[in-house]
A and B are shown apart, each in its own frame.
Chain A
Amino acid sequence: QAGLTQPPSVSKDLGQTATLTCTGDSNNVGYQGVAWLQQHQGHPPKLLSNRQNGRPSEISDRFSASRSGNSASLTITGLQTEDEADYYCSAWDNSLSVWVLGGGTKLTVL
Chain B
Amino acid sequence: QVQLVQSAAEVKKPGASVKVSCEASGFTFTNYYMHWVRQAPGQGLEWMTMLSPSRDGGGTTSARKFRHRVTLTSDTSTNTVYMELSSLTYEDTAVYFCAREVEGFDVWGQGTMVTVSS
Answer yes or no: A101 CB below 8 A from chain B CBs. Answer: yes
Answer yes or no: B90 CB below 8 A from chain A CBs. Answer: no
Answer yes or no: B29 CB below 8 A from chain A CBs. Answer: no
Q: Is the interface of A mostly helix, strand, loop or mixed?
A: strand
Contacts of B7 in A (CB 8 A): none
Name which residue of chain B comes closest to A33, CB basis. Answer: B103
Answer yes or no: B104 CB below 8 A from chain A CBs. Answer: yes
Name which residue of chain A comes closest to B111, CB basis. Answer: A44
Q: CB within 8 Å of B: which of A40-98? A: 44-47, 49-52, 54, 56, 86, 88, 90, 96-98
Interface residues on B, range: 20 to 34
Contacts of B106 in A (CB 8 A): 47, 50, 56
Q: CB distance B61 to A98 under 8 Å?
A: yes
Q: CB distance A47 to B63 under 8 Å?
A: no
List the 6 closest pairs (A to B, CB-CB), nearest first.
Answer: A35-B104, A50-B104, A50-B103, A44-B108, A99-B47, A104-B44
19 contacts between A and B (CB under 8 A): A1-B63, A36-B104, A37-B45, A44-B97, A44-B109, A45-B37, A45-B108, A51-B103, A54-B103, A88-B45, A90-B104, A97-B61, A98-B62, A98-B64, A99-B35, A101-B37, A101-B44, A101-B46, A104-B44
